[in-house]
């Protein structure tokens, strides 16, 4: 009883310290807690999985640092899956603050698979005017992006020898912390019939499920959990896995603290009576 009384009166700073420790440990060394595969995530995985070698995926990384923990692992996982399947990858961003993050994905991940720039992948960088860019992909990518991020003429890059517009693109994946995936649906799918998938933050995911149910998205990644599920499917657990481990452990710990606190309170209340 005295132990419960002590826990009920414990200094909140000790609770914060314990919570911090249990959050940091999974971030340093992921626990690889069990995680399932939801239908929206599996649908996207299966769609990419069935693409023939050499098919083209467009990865639009339309987010900034404010949603890094949720969106960035998605981009890394999608890029890895594309290269694992020997698909070609075209990267870009429609968010000016996201250029650095997108560049990281398009420089680090290809090195892991010995991919050749200009042939297996290309990074187009940022371009203003979302509508003109998305519609321009439907006409001629080389006209809307005459140069890539590094200043190379796109019409000299091998990847664009047989890739002109949406007709040669298997899938566009928009990773975003805003409503940009909807623009891809209205402009790319609505006008050109292009297959679209999205990765969004957890708080936005519910808004996108109607598009998924009506077939306007071929798949959807929702928040860190969606990213962690995708990492599991490609058998490369990384940022999202460690993050979701930390979140899960912290939630369990908080619930335990609430239970212990309530038990201690009841014990103290009975003693006073």
pLDDT for residue 13: 83
Measured CA to CA in angstroms, residue 273 lies from 93, 187, 193, 269, 270 at distances of 65, 69, 72, 7, 5
Cα separation, 83 vs 187, whole angstroms: 27
The reported pLDDT for the residue numbered 161 is 94
- Ordered per-residue pLDDT tens for the chain, 273 residues: 566 666 666 777 877 888 888 778 777 777 777 677 789 999 999 999 999 999 999 999 999 999 998 999 999 999 999 999 999 999 999 999 999 999 999 999 999 999 999 999 999 999 989 999 999 999 999 999 999 999 999 999 999 999 999 999 999 999 998 889 999 999 999 999 999 999 999 899 989 999 999 999 999 999 888 888 998 898 777 776 666 777 777 778 888 878 877 777 777 777 766
- Structural contact between residues 74 and 199, judged by C-beta atoms closer than 8 angstroms: yes
C-beta of residue 243 within 8 angstroms of C-beta of residue 73:
yes
* DSSP string for residues in the chain: -HHHHHHHT--HHHHHHHHHHHHHHHHHS---------HHHHHHHHHHHTSPTT-EEEEEEE--GGGHHHHHHHHHHHHHHHHHTT-EEEEEES-GGGHHHHHHHHHHHHHHTTPPBTTTEEEEEE-S-HHHHHHHTTT-HHHH-SB-TTS-BGGGSGGGSS--SGGG-SEEEEEESSSHHHHHIIIIIHHH---EEEEE-HHHHHHHHHHHHTTS-S-EEEHHHHHHHHHHHTT---HHHHHHHHHHHHHHHHHHHHHHHHHHHHHHHHHH-
Question: Can you give the length of the chain in residues?
Answer: 273
Q: Are strands 220-222 and 56-62 parallel, antiparallel or unpaired?
A: unpaired
Closest to 125 (Cα-Cα) out of 154, 83, 88, 94: 94
Residue from 236, 211, 239 nearest 67 by CA: 239
* Per-residue model confidence (pLDDT) at position 5: 65
CA distance 178 to 155: 31
């Amino acid at each position: 009883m005295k132990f419960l009384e002590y826990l009920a009166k414990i200094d909140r700073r000790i609770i914060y310290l314990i919570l911090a420790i249990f959050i940091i440990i999974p971030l340093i060394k992921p626990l690889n807690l069990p995680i399932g595969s939801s239908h929206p995530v599996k649908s996207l995985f299966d769609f990419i999985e069935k693409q023939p070698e050499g098919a083209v995926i467009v990865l639009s990384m339309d987010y900034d640092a404010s949603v890094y923990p949720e969106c960035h692992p998605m981009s890394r996982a999608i890029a890895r899956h594309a290269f694992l399947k020997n698909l070609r990858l075209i990267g870009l961003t429609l968010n000016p603050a996201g250029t650095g993050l997108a560049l990281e994905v398009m420089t680090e991940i290809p090195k892991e698979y010995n991919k050749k720039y200009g042939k297996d992948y290309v990074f187009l960088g940022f371009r203003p005017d979302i509508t003109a860019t998305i519609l321009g992909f439907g006409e001629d990518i080389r006209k809307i992006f005459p140069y890539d991020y590094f200043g190379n003429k796109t019409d000299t890059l091998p990847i664009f020898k047989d890739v002109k517009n949406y007709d040669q693109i298997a899938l566009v994946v928009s990773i975003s912390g805003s409503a940009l995936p909807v623009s891809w649906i209205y402009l790319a799918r609505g006008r050109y019939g292009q297959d679209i998938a999205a990765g969004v933050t957890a708080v936005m995911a519910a808004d996108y499920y109607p598009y998924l149910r009506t077939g306007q998205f071929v798949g959807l990644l929702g928040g860190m959990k969606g990213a962690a599920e995708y990492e599991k499917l490609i058998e490369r657990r990384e940022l999202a896995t460690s993050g979701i481990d930390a979140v899960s452990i912290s939630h369990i710990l908080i619930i335990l603290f609430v239970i212990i606190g309530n038990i201690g309170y009841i014990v103290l209340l009975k003693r006073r009576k």
